[in-house]
Amino acid sequence: MYIAAENQVAQLISLLPPDIAQLIAREPEEDANNYEYVKALLIKRFKLSAEKFRQLFNEHQKASESTWYGFYYELKNYLEGCLNGLNINTFEQLKGLMLVDQIKKRTSSDFKVPFMDELITIILPTEMVKKIEDFEDV
């Protein structure tokens, strides 16, 4: 189906929920009529963080009406979203991330609470261990 460039945003807005359409309407008219701008705006607004993908991956359960292939595909997407968001590109980086996750699970909430925002970005086990050691030395 071909949609002329000047009609793409109008067509898109007609398919969106009202609160999302309002998000676009708040933009300057020139930007609000530019499909590429609107697309980038929506992607930026609704992009999930690596931590959110990690949570979805760890907590996801198969729905009774879902197939096992569907469940596999959903898990794979969540895992890839997490790994891509953290720029995990090698097996060594993946091993490091897995070690960091295991170390995090074994730390006290006294440690986790003050560093909550920082901990989600740590992917190197040595960096995590140093942070814990420094915290315990204080």
Q: What is the mean pLDDT of residues 47-61?
A: 90
pLDDT surpasses 80 at 1: no
Cα–Cα distance list, 99 to 6, 23, 106, 127, 128 (Å): 51, 40, 11, 11, 9
pLDDT surpasses 80 at 52: yes
One domain, residues 95 and 67: no
One domain, residues 40 and 54: no
One domain, residues 70 and 95: no
One domain, residues 21 and 57: no
Alpha-carbon span 32 to 109, nearest angstrom: 45
pLDDT band per the 50, 70, 90 thresholds, residue 138: confident
Q: Which amino acid is at 100?
A: V
One domain, residues 116 and 128: yes
One domain, residues 93 and 83: no
**Residues whose CB is less than 8 angstroms from the CB of residue 33 and which lie 6 or more positions away in sequence, other chains included:** 6, 9
Write out the residue range of the structural domain in which residue 18 sits: 5-46
Q: What is the pTM of this model?
A: 0.63
Using alpha carbons only, give the angle 17, 70, 50 rounded to the nearest 5 degrees. Answer: 65
One domain, residues 28 and 55: no
Q: What is the pLDDT at residue 51?
A: 87
One domain, residues 118 and 83: no
Query: How many domains does the chain contain in total?
Result: 3
pLDDT band per the 50, 70, 90 thresholds, residue 49: confident
pLDDT band per the 50, 70, 90 thresholds, residue 46: confident
One domain, residues 38 and 61: no
One domain, residues 77 and 93: no
Alpha-carbon span 77 to 56, nearest angstrom: 10
Q: What is the pLDDT at residue 121?
A: 87
